[in-house]
Structure 1
Amino acid sequence: MAMFEHDGPYTVNPVSGALGAEISGIDLGAELDDYLVAELRRALLEYGVIFFRDQHLDTDAHKLLAKKFGEIFVHPFFVYGDDPEVVTIVREPGDTRIVGEDWHIDTAMMPEPPMGAIMVAIEVSDYGGDTLFANQYLAYEALSEGMKFLLQDLKAINSDRLVAGPGAATRSANRTTKARTDVGWEETISIHPVVRTHPETGRKSLFVNHSYTVGFAGMSEEESKPLLGWLMDWGHRPEFTCRFRWGKGSVAFWDNRCTKHIAVDDVHNHRRVMRRIQIAGDRPY
């Protein structure tokens, strides 16, 4: 990964050889000028996910920051809190399930999944609770030419039935932050390419994940399972990943078009509060 060249009064330090960089010297709660917003977008496109420490973002400032990068995406099924533009993710001591416990691309069942998300740590434990990210450009580029040829026209079925609705009632019941599981919930299904082209960089990446991808178009789920399972596991090989340790006021901004991520469920006796705002995206191609 090339070093990020810039002229600004801030520093950019990569966190792994695969993806991710920590940026210091920027107050995200201040009014960001167009140049700095463009530089942050450039860093996001370069590193896939960018991190910040010791930020002071209330909900209004968080929304203003997100709107610098696009329209806010309203999540279709989380029901914690009263602001539809904000997802507050809470874990209480005693919860046995957590939001994001499988490797996933956010809200991939939507026709136009969000382009990214900005998450702020409000309350965290002194240890544990990290988030891992995986670079799906690298996952695709490391495939053999034969596998790339096999995947080039393959489409994947993405559904929210594994994470919401009656089928997810047990999972949702065992955590504080609930997904919709009522009988009025209706499954959302979208067909997306297995190999996605990034609309800004032009690079190709894998676009399948454990939480939403349930099969290949034109195949049964049984027929899909061997290859789909292999691709999903391949996409988070250690050499494609980085790991972020949260602290109070930490911020992560990830590109949902070329990364996937997972929350590590290793701290069970501490309260945790995160605030996430997603940014609208476009239809994968």
Structure 2
Amino acid sequence: MSIELPDRVRLRPATVPGGGILEGPRLLRRLPEGVEERPYELFSLRPLGRVIGAEIGVDLARPLTPELHAELNRALLEWKVLFFRDQDITSAHQRAFAANWGELETNPFIPKGDTEDTTRFARSATMPAFENIWHVDVTFRPAPALGSVLRLIEVPPVGGDTMWADMAAAYDNLPEDVRERVDGLTAVHDFIPGFDRFSDPELLLRHQDAFPPVEHPVVRTHPETGRRTLFVNQAFTTHIVGIDRDESDSLLRYLFSRAHVPEFQVRFAWRPGSVAFWDNRATQHYAVNDYHPYARVAERVAIAGDRPF
């Protein structure tokens, strides 16, 4: 039975800009479907987020046994980014740890660190940071990095946190019609948009032929977990193949925004001796640029990956 309301108590139209989408409960599934929770036997683990991020009690200066490597790899797949506190390690230790996961690679657009296989991010009052954009590392490569190990050499007294977002959770929570629209689509990735803001044009020109635009699936399948993950990012994804540019821009803006959802994120406050190791196939990250005029110096080692599918 409907009830007629007097005019004076009728509601105004309930619309807001952006289509009127008001988010509600999230599906927050940390593990792949069908995978059961198991304890870790070789180290302590403290979760920092519901679906992403955990602190691990392991000394990275010591070589990994095969058993420890296997359990750390399981933790990486299940938590997507691992944090290690109070580490007294050098660049050599950092490289040796990362090499347990594969061949190391460098980024030609970022200055080298203490060794050929490391890159250094040195930010100060005279050298501003530009990493405060949600991104996946080197998706302009045909085979983007598997992951990265980051160590802060100089920590600002305030600010300078890094955030990560779980892009499997982002995919799980797409509206059904959006999932149906993006499954099977491919998008173009190019290094120019990501580095044009702060790099020497001569450097970009020199590498333009070596790194032509590449296509990756908008939704990739993780090669180890089998999970579907949203694989477009604001730094390097320029457009979706095969659809009108206006529709591509609109769809990408929405997909980019999924990394901004707090329920999919973890935020890490750096301290001297802290190290982070993340799965670049499953996450996006964002370096918070709020520490000016203090310095923030980091060294990163990247692990070569495979072609997304």
Q: What pairs with 1:1-285 in structure 2 (closer than 5 Å)?
A: 1=30, 5-8=39-42, 10-24=43-57, 26-81=58-113, 83-96=115-128, 98-164=129-195, 168=196, 170-172=197-199, 181-186=203-208, 187-219=211-243, 221-285=245-309
CA change 1:147–1:19 in 2 (3 A) is: same
* Letter paired with 2:44: T
Query: Post-superposition, which runs of at least 4 consecutive aligned residues in structure 1 deviate over 6 A?
Result: none
Q: What is the CA distance between 1:236 and its match in structure 2?
A: 2.5
Unmatched runs of 5 consecutive residues or more in structure 1:
174-178
Name the SS for the 2:150 alignment partner.
strand
CA change 1:202–1:75 in 2 (3 A) is: same
CA offsets per residue over residues 96-133 of structure 1, 9 Å max, x none?
Answer: 3x142210000011000001000011111122100010
Q: What is the CA distance between 1:270 and its match in structure 2?
A: 1.2
Q: What is the CA distance between 1:201 and its match in structure 2?
A: 0.2
* Letter paired with 1:149: E
Work out the CA distance in 2 between the residues paired with 1:57 and 1:81.
Answer: 15
* Letter paired with 1:171: F
Q: What is the CA distance between 1:76 and its match in structure 2?
A: 3.0
Work out the CA distance in 2 between the residues paired with 1:57 and 1:221.
Answer: 48
CA offsets per residue over residues 122-171 of structure 1, 9 Å max, x none?
Answer: 1111221000100000000011222111111110100001123xxx1x52
Name the SS for the 1:215 alignment partner.
strand
CA root-mean-square deviation = 1.8
Contact 2:130/2:198, CA 8 A, preserved across alignment: no
Q: What is the CA distance between 1:82 and its match in structure 2?
A: 6.9
Name the SS for the 2:207 alignment partner.
coil
Aligned residue pairs total 273
Work out the CA distance in 1 between the residues paired with 2:193 and 2:218.
Answer: 19
Q: What is the CA distance between 1:266 and its match in structure 2?
A: 0.4
CA offsets per residue over residues 207-239 of structure 1, 9 Å max, x none?
Answer: 010100010012454441101011001232111
Name the SS for the 1:181 alignment partner.
helix
Taking structure 1 as the reference length, what is the TM-score of the superposition? 0.90
Q: What is the CA distance between 1:91 and its match in structure 2?
A: 0.6
* Letter paired with 1:73: E
Q: What is the CA distance between 1:94 and its match in structure 2?
A: 3.2
Contact 1:16/1:241, CA 8 A, preserved across alignment: yes
- The percentage of counterpart residues that share the same residue type is 39
Work out the CA distance in 2 between the residues paired with 1:22 and 1:246.
Answer: 12
Name the SS for the 1:214 alignment partner.
strand
CA offsets per residue over residues 48-86 of structure 1, 9 Å max, x none?
Answer: 100000112211111111111111022232234474311
* Letter paired with 1:183: L
Taking structure 2 as the reference length, what is the TM-score of the superposition? 0.84
